Amino acid sequence: MNRLTKYLTLAAMALPVAATADPTGCDTGEEVLKFSVVTALQGHPKGEAALAYADYINAEMDGRYCVEVYGRSELYPDDETLFQAMLDGDLHFAAPSFAKISGYAAKADIFNLPFLFDGPLHVLEFLQSEEINQIGDQMSDDGFAALGYISNGMRQFSSTVPMRRPGDAEGQTFRVSSSSPVTAAVLDIMGITPMKLKFSEVYDNLANGTVQGQENTFANIQKMGFYEVQAAVTETNHTYIGYPMLTSQRFLDSLDAETRAVFLIGAQLITHERNRFAFELNQISRRSIIEDDGVVLALSPAEMQAWRDAFAPVLDEFKPSVGAEFVDAAIRINAAADPYN
């Protein structure tokens, strides 16, 4: 190793690891654009979509722009600093979960309404409908633009006690990802106290017992190792995690029309392509948890019905604040969906 190579190697080791389409990094003269993700990159629905977007832009915009993707909260957590960084022009792309944007877009709370959708492929039909743009429209009031919508999957509860019924973890504290009153109402029915924590803080707080449970998708539970410090993951499929793929309107406005079209079309192509695999990636994660001696509890139809019955009042209570017509549109799309045929 000559001195220059050694210097470059040491310098690279000191830098945060970003994934780019070009493994040698961005070329001199290219404008670097940063994409921040809190989840894992490889093998995760959001991470894979972000990487695919970077690949697309880096190929289409070679010599002009270079997208770097940072995973596992390496650059920003999903909190206010992320949104501010986008508005300040320090960060160009992010995909915070719908739960984390409900302060900007009240309609995003639709995905916290329990059992509104029958499954992740039913939600996908909603994500592909015109209706979903109402969430992006609400974000635009605050200077954000939704380029597309990335799918993850359904939330499952996990706890230090194996849960088969809604009351089985009564008295415990569960980590929640947002201050959503809908989520708080769901946990209240279960006799559980919510504690808001960043995604990057969940594992340690489960491990040290500050919180005893949480709710998340199989992909998140497996990639972050939450199952290692929980007695069981209960397959409730009660709510949904997905993501608006955000940039700032200011960034879009700074581009000429042709360049802007590349960024917009790329997001549509990539989300359409990658969202088809989100269900499969969650199933692979589910299997990996079991293969690694994690416990996944499947519920009988009667047990599932007990969860549905327990949470039914939440829909009535929060339908008006989420938007009655918006919720009704989701109910119609879910009922008409036939994703397995």
Residue 93 is a binding residue for ligand SIN (CB under 6 A): no
Give the residue, chosen from 97, 112, 271, 275, that forms a contact with ligand SIN under the rule CB under 6 A. Answer: 97
Residue 52 is a binding residue for ligand SIN (CB under 6 A): no
Residue 285 is a binding residue for ligand SIN (CB under 6 A): no
3-state secondary structure labels for all residues of the chain: CCHHHHHHHHHHHHCCCCECCCCCCCCCCCEEEEEECCCCCCCCHHHHHHHHHHHHHHHHCCCCEEEEEECCCCCCCCCHHHHHHHHHCCCCEECCCHHHHCCCCHHHHHHHCCCCCCCHHHHHHHHCCHHHHHHHHHHHCCCEEEEEEEEEEECEEEECCCCCCCCCCCCCEEEECCCCHHHHHHHHHCCCEEEECCHHHHHHHHHCCCCCEEEECHHHHHHCCHHHHCCEEECCCCCEEEEEEEEEHHHHHCCCHHHHHHHHHHHHHHHHHHHCCHHHHHHHHHHHHHHCCCCEECCCHHHHHHHHHHHHHHHHHHHHHHCHHHHHHHHHHHHHCCCCC
- At closest approach, how far in Å is the CB of 199 from ligand SIN? 4
> Which residue, 111 or 251, has its beta carbon nearer to ligand SIN?
111
Give the residue, chosen from 38, 49, 211, 278, that forms a contact with ligand SIN under the rule CB under 6 A. Answer: 38
> Which residue, 46 or 238, has its beta carbon nearer to ligand SIN?
46
Residue 220 is a binding residue for ligand SIN (CB under 6 A): yes
- At closest approach, how far in Å is the CB of 197 from ligand SIN? 8
Give the residue, chosen from 73, 151, 177, 183, that forms a contact with ligand SIN under the rule CB under 6 A. Answer: 177
- At closest approach, how far in Å is the CB of 278 from ligand SIN? 11
Residue 199 is a binding residue for ligand SIN (CB under 6 A): yes
Q: 286-295 burial string, b = 16+ CB within 10 Å, else e?
A: bebbeeeebe
Residue 318 is a binding residue for ligand SIN (CB under 6 A): no
Number of shown-chain residues binding ligand SIN (CB under 6 A): 10
Residue 94 is a binding residue for ligand SIN (CB under 6 A): no
Residue 206 is a binding residue for ligand SIN (CB under 6 A): no
Binding residues among 249-268 for ligand SIN as defined by CB under 6 A: none
Residue 236 is a binding residue for ligand SIN (CB under 6 A): no
Give the residue, chosen from 159, 212, 216, 239, that forms a contact with ligand SIN under the rule CB under 6 A. Answer: 216
> Which residue, 151 or 216, has its beta carbon nearer to ligand SIN?
216
Which residues lie near ligand SIN (CB under 6 A)? Answer: 38-39, 46, 97, 152, 177, 199, 216, 220, 241
